[in-house]
Amino acid sequence: MDGLIEIKKVRKTFPRNEGSDLVALDDVELTFESGEFIALIGPSGCGKSTLLRLIAGLIRQDSGTITLDGVEICKPGYERGLVFQDPTLFPWMNMYENIAYGLRSRGVYKAEKRRIPDFFRLVGLEGFEKSYPHHLSGGMAQRAALARVLVNQPKVLLLDEPLGALDAFTRMNMQDELIAIWQKQRMTTVMVTHDVDEAIYMATRIIVMSPRPARIQRVIKVEKEQPRRRDDSDFLELRAEILRILHFAGNGRGPGA
């Protein structure tokens, strides 16, 4: 499976009533290697989700290019799966129908339906095929939303604060489940999060973004292998470093300024 994402000199603005455009991203350059788990973190409103939507093809940049395996991204595609903070399941469909939806919309349901039980097992929802969204807990619904994306076997998994609406205990369990799924599937994964601990616990690299207009403040490689302990000294040292960078970013300065 490929999944190389290259972002070159990307700028994105949004019009606003005051007249001047809001600059969300400015001259952003990044490369995400195939199979990486990337966490995007930064101040609220800094453009993290905008960057994710550009990679998804939901919106277009004003300038610059974003490519997947050398092909420019111009529109949404099934090779890029996006999971939102809310599960966005169809309430009139049961879990089987929800997870099969992507295959049906692609016109490959008959050829690929044999794989659907594999994804129920992958996300731990065996036995809930006939359940409807209102029967499920928040964590279960998010796992179903994840399976609905994964059944299309995307090269890239995009996660827009997928655990933000969950309680702390469910969130930690879901972090472990997402790591396990990533380790099995090894697709390139890009996750937006506001949680520094979550970024360190899950990602292979952390991209720290500055306030608007968003630029890359720091790229941090997380050297520790999985599974990681949240209370070991390396984890706590990295947490302190990222919080320090974010503090400076929030004041419009860089570390050491």
What pLDDT, in 10s, does the model give residues 201-227? 999 999 999 888 778 999 999 999 999
Other beta carbons within 10 angstroms of residue 58's beta carbon come to 14
pLDDT of 142: 94
Residue ranges of the chain whose pLDDT lies below 70: 1, 248-257
Give pLDDT, residue 254: 43
Residue 255's pLDDT is 43
CA dihedral 89, 91, 97, 103 (to 10 degrees): -40
Chain mean position to CA 206: 12
Task: Give 72's strand partners.
Answer: 67
Measuring CA to CA, which residue among 130, 214, 98, 194 is closest to residue 206?
194
Q: Identify the pLDDT of residue 248.
A: 60
Q: Where are the domains of the chain?
A: 5-237
pTM value is 0.93
In terms of CATH, what superfamily is 5-237? P-loop containing nucleotide triphosphate hydrolases (3.40.50.300)
Give the pLDDT score at 253.
Answer: 47
